[in-house]
Amino acid sequence: MPGKSPSMLSLLQLEQRARMLEPRLLQRWSVSALRDEVRVLSQHTIHLLLERDTQVWWRARKCEGDASYENLFHLIYPGSPAKTYARCQLPGSRVLYGSCNRHTALEEIGAETGDHIQLIAFRAKPGIVYQTSVIGDWQLVYAQGRAFLRPVEHMGAYYAIMDDDERYRRCVYFDSFMASHFRHKVENAYEYKVAASFSQQVFQDAAARDKPLALIYPSVQQANAFNIAMPDWMFDRFFEVLHTEYFSIEACLGYGLFEVGPVKYSDGFSAAGEIDWDAPRMRSYRKHKSFGLEEPAPMPGWRVPSARPPSSAAASD
């Protein structure tokens, strides 16, 4: 396998090395060799980090039968470390995945007519501003002249890089290459290796800086939508659950459109994560065009306590 490169690769050399990382070829790569190669290739782009704070994210899980989950630990990241590769994680890690809105969260879990679903809404704790590395950002700039979730007046850093054509083209190539891996629908778990290795790199950088740095990447199931991923420790320290919803899928209309039954809602939780479905509703939201909901007067949500329950009490999906 190729070793570390002492200098910047040309665009042609970058393409040749990236071609060796096609999903069908990843079975032959060891994790350590692939991690080194992804780190080398990632040096050929510039990650302009996006800051977020009050954005609400969504995570969905199918229920077993028609019974709702009664504890939030069943709805955040799985309690046991991953046994194999997943889109944003290597074996042995725990990662929380979320989506930009309800319908994308439903699409990501393959919600079908007749399913019973439970969602959580979560966001950063009040006062926390976290950074995100955005996969597909340069690809969007190249296609549409705009960056992900950034107004035109904040495009100056991009324009400066675009003035150097070779540098700009390398950024576009590597970002497009990574976006294709994050969007890829796999047949074998090893096909996740590139996306998982890059994600691990981002999370390790965050741990080294001891700051929240999450990963935003294109939705696999919903065109033009996006997801977020973060390691368990980041969610525990910097994020909180706002509320949970339980409902049935009455009809799947396609394109992210669903008809759902009556929604059971709760924002009343014990410190141990137990859900009180009869608690009076405390939160007030208004609609947000991009993210579904925003809370005009943010209230503290439920936070993972310092002493977690045993893994058997948490989600196993």
Among 220, 221, 175, 219, which Cα is nearest to 198's?
175
Question: pLDDT tens for residues 70-88?
Answer: 999 999 998 899 999 999 9
What average pLDDT does range 193-215 have in this prediction?
Answer: 93
Q: Percentage of residues in the chain with pLDDT exceeding 70?
A: 94
pLDDT of residue 308: 55
Question: pLDDT tens for residues 252-296?
Answer: 999 999 999 999 999 999 999 999 999 999 999 988 776 677 888
Among 131, 312, 316, which Cα is nearest to 216's?
131
Query: pTM to 2 decimals?
Result: 0.91
Say if residue 5's pLDDT is above 50.
no
Dist CA 199 CA 207 (whole Å): 12
Dist CA 140 CA 148 (whole Å): 7
First to last CA, the chain: 34
Question: pLDDT tens for residues 94-126?
Answer: 999 999 999 999 999 999 999 999 999 999 999
Say if residue 310's pLDDT is above 60.
no
Dist CA 226 CA 101 (whole Å): 9
pLDDT of residue 306: 80
Question: pLDDT tens for residues 114-165?
Answer: 999 999 999 999 999 999 999 999 999 999 998 887 877 789 999 999 999 9
Dist CA 314 CA 317 (whole Å): 9
Cα angle 225-228-232, degrees, rounded to a multiple of 5? 160
pLDDT of residue 147: 87
The domain ranges of the chain are: 50-133+197-313
Least confident of 79-93, 151-165, 167-181, 238-252: 151-165
pLDDT of residue 313: 42
Dist CA 298 CA 280 (whole Å): 17
